[in-house]
Homo-oligomer: A and B are copies of this chain.
Amino acid sequence: MSQQKTDIRSDMAWSTADRITVRGRDLPSQILGKLNLGDVAFLELTGRLPSAAESAVFNAIAVTLVEHGITPSALATRMTILGAPEAMQAAVAAGLCGLGSVFVGSTQGAAKILLAALPTRDAPGDLDRIAGEIVADHRARKITIPGIGHPIHKPIDPRTPRLFEIAEEHGFKGRYVELMTLIATHAEKASGKSLPVNATGALAALCCELGLTPQMCQGIAVFARAIGLVGHIVEETSRPIAAEVWHRIDAEATRHVRPET
């Protein structure tokens, strides 16, 4: 164990008897009533206030990730509230635990690819050539490119054009959006399949346009989904499904071993 003390410091928030400061701003006078929840999330991640344009794009990113219906996460949350209705926070936590590599990780993965190719918004490079190389490289390694194709939303993911439209409206449809789009084009050409930019890829591109890191992409997905999971808890309370799901699945899963039906 290290005996040499290193500094422990946090700039997230501090308070005294008459003041509460969040990210360097006075909470009552500079934040409350001035910033919406998405803007405060931007402040939390970056330490600065978003411009109006950044606010619009960032809120759209986060909003896209709130609610996806009956997902595995929503089911985990509903199963948890059934057993521990007194601990709603644990039910949200249970649902968040599954936001890993399979579902949410692809946004982060797509952002990593974009940032590896273009470390900054104005990094030089022939985007068409770069996209071709990314596709060729993934095909050679037989791995899927995150951010393109969708099992349900065909031929296009309806969120993508809208997200790109919002980005354009606010001056954030830049080289990351272009690169993501070119990756899809090259992947479609190479595979012969319909592989349009999906919501994950669009969100990754917009996060890069805003200068956010892949870790922040993941973080936005996590907190946005926390909102959705609270929504599911509210619905589960008024119109429960968890007990019925449990009973049905238990009955079916064990019917082969029970002596009687």
Contacts and interface: CB of A to CB of B under 8 A. Distances in A.
A43 B44 CA distance: 23
A80 B69 contact: no
A80 B76 contact: yes
The main secondary structure of chain A at its interface with chain B is helix
- Stoichiometry, as copies per complex, reads 4
Interface residues of A, number: 134
Given A37-B62, A251-B1, A102 B90 contact: no
A115 interface: no
A17 to B, nearest CB: 6
A63 B32 contact: yes
A86 B66 CA distance: 22
Contact of A92 (B45, B56, B226, B244): B226
Given A66-B41, A93-B93, A227-B44, A60 B33 contact: yes
A116 B102 CA distance: 25
Interface string A70-106: 1111111001111111111111111111111111100
A140 interface: no
Contact of A69 (B59, B230, B254): B254
Residue among A37, A41, A82, A153 with max Cβ neighbours from chain B (10 Å): A37
A230 B44 contact: yes
Q: What are the nearest 3 A-B pairs in CB distance?
A: A84-B100, A44-B231, A83-B98
